Chains A and B, each alone.
Chain A
Amino acid sequence: MTATVLHRPGLARIRTARAPLYRICLGFVLLVVLLALLAPWLAPYDPNTVDLGNALAGPSGEHLLGVDASGRDTLSRLMTGARTSLLGPLGVVAFSTLAGVAVGVLAAWRGGWLDSVLSRSTELIFAFPGMLLAILIVAVYGEGLLAPVIALAVAYLPYVSRLTRSLVLAERERPYVEAYQVQGHSGLQICLRHVVPSIAPVILAQSTINFGYALLDLAGLAFLGLGVPALTPDWGRMVFDGQSAIQQGYPLSAVVPCAAIVLTVVAFNVVGERWADQVSRRDR
């Protein structure tokens, strides 16, 4: 019943004979996370050490992915940058999921005027471009990761809350919820113990997909020079730093973080779609 919500075409549907797209993507996601966690120990150089003599050097045994215009090692910046680039979306997803589930459950369970108020106000956020909201908040609060993360979390909240609302509405129609009511359990108990756990896999799958988009949005903000402070390594920032080098004919320092962003987003989406597929299949 709830499966209809999830039925959308995606990369995970491409299933040639035993093509392990999902496994490759899951592996890639794990690899990126691992690299980010272990970056301080694995990175060959300090990401901010400037070696101007080597600026714009190509790949070599010393610098595997070359050196950028300011003479910093691209590989080290990529690995260290993975931390901010993953931490930001994680914050966005964590906040938007928690708040979105709370709003969605409340709207669906209570219904009536509260549902109207919550649903209309989240739709208001829908109408407002998330990036614009983020730029606005960053402009007010200045540099730092927190402001764009909160802005994007607010922008992503409606996706989660709408999904949650429809799932809870379907779930509360099921007779077992009434059975618990008859038994004397309070609405809050039934929600927390039974309804939310049974819809959680679907929400988590959606959040995984959101993670990819949030990464993309944050990289976009960083590219615009918003959010991440200048010296902090970040993939979006690296693309921004590398654009002048592209004009000089040395595209590598911009292309590498671009590829990292694209591959990570695709990997997260494939994994998320696959989880969503699995959940809907189990429900059937």
Chain B
Amino acid sequence: MTTPSKTAPKTAPKTLDIQAFRLHLPGAVRPVLTGVDLFVDAGETVALVGESGSGKSLTSRSVLGLLPPGAGTEGTVRVNGEDVLTMTPEQLRGLRTGTASMIFQDPRAAINPLRRIGDFLTESLRLNTRTDRAAATARATEMLDAVGLTAKVLRQYPGQLSGGMLQRVMIAAALMGDPALILADEPTTALDVTTQAEVVALLADLRERFGTGLLFVTHDLGLAAAISDRVYVMYAGRIAETGPAEALFGRPLHPYTAALLDSTPRLDAPQGRLAAIEGRPPSLRDEVPGCPFAARCPLATFLCSQQAPALLPVVGEPTRRTACHHSDQLREMSTDATHA
């Protein structure tokens, strides 16, 4: 998968293009999201990584216009070139049933347990596009087949299926409207590890088959590294770092990414104490004039506490961007390490 640089002129609009997105909630001192720049090209898998409260789920939900009550927004969120933030409720409904769809974390919570799977799959198609029952059922059968389930499932209830099968049903439902973009919000967190592999394999298959763009929201760095072309790391409502998965996790250029990698208990890392990040992310009640990670950062200087770093391209690596005043120090450290 080639990753076109952001400045390259392109004729077709990007599947998802978020620019300078800012989200403010009533009662919060600082914006929940600030200066979020993110894009997904057609057929591309992009991971959005962050801890709870980083704003990753809020970002993905904003793409469908699912904003919290009272939210104020700035910037643009374009899906296939159309700005979601200025859409009428009618246009939004069209967007959600057609162009973009979402897969939720817990399939059991997202499916009405009293309705048959068939009703769940065909409902939005029949209500919003006036497809007749037979055509909708045919489409549902086709999509179930695509996710590796048989038409028998149509007559079953959610309680009769396992978590992994139910998440396949969710994916089939997301595919019903033939979307250009799928937003997957921690789609495998509620599943067992072996089931997770199956669901991820399925998503990769479908991406190849249908050319769908995928924004994969997760807290799991290993998973993000394993499945995505590019990764965005979020911290306290900002993009901390972005770039190709391999480069970003191999040689992180933001201290937060580096610390997050060090604090993950992995099978291939040296055994012993983990390098935990002390402290916790700033609360929404605290004003953060500088870099939000400064208080926990080993490289932080006076400058960091005063001035928030912009997300800037990395010298010599045009596909990577990082928001750190001291990323050059990290670069030196990693080159030292490779030389040593």
Touching in the complex, A and B, CB below 8 A?
Answer: no
B positions within 8 Å CB-CB of A: none
